[in-house]
C-alpha cells in the first residue's frame, strides 16, 4: 500500500514488532540524528520513495523502517546505519546480504545487542 507522501507501508499488523526490527529501529533513532540522513537511508534501501517535501514526518520514517521484511533489506539498513555509530559500538552485519546463503547467528544472541536499544 502506498501512502500519499510516498512511503510504502504494509497494512497495519499486530503491535508486536520483531526483535530484529526493534534493534534496527533503536540504532536508527539513536544514532542517525538528522532527518535528511534518515530519509536518505530509507530511500537508498528502497523502503521509501524520495519525498517531495523538505520536512518528512518521523512516524512515517518509522513505518518505512518497519516495512523491512527481507533479510536483504535489513542487511542494507544495517550497513547504512553503522557508519553513524561510534567506532567502538559498531558490529558486523548479522543479516545475510544479497546472494548470501551462509547461516548467521541470531541477532538476539549477539553480544551486547540489548545495549544498542
User: Model confidence over 49-98: pLDDT tens digits?
Assistant: 988 887 889 989 999 999 998 889 999 999 999 999 999 999 999 988 77
Res 117 pLDDT > 50: no
Domain ranges of the chain: 1-7+17-90
User: Model confidence over 47-61: pLDDT tens digits?
Assistant: 999 888 878 899 899
Strands of 1-117, DSSP E: none
Q: What contacts 5, CB < 8 A, 6 or more positions away?
A: 51, 52, 53, 56, 57, 60
Amino acid at each position: 500500500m502506498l501512502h500519499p507522501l510516498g512511503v510504502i507501508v504494509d497494512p497495519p499488523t499486530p503491535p508486536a514488532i520483531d526483535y530484529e526490527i526493534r534493534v534496527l529501529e533503536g540504532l536508527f533513532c539513536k544514532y542517525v540524528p538528522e532527518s535528511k540522513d534518515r530519509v536518505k537511508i530509507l530511500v537508498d534501501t528502497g523502503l521509501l520513495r524520495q519525498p517531495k517535501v523538505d520536512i518528512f514526518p518521523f512516524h512515517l520514517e518509522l513505518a518505512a523502517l518497519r516495512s523491512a521484511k527481507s533479510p536483504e533489506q535489513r542487511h542494507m539498513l544495517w550497513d547504512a546505519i553503522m557508519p553513524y555509530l561510534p567506532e567502538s559500538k559498531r558490529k558486523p552485519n548479522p543479516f545475510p546480504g544479497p546472494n548470501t546463503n551462509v547461516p548467521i547467528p541470531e541477532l538476539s544472541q549477539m553480544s551486547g545487542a540489548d545495549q544498542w536499544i
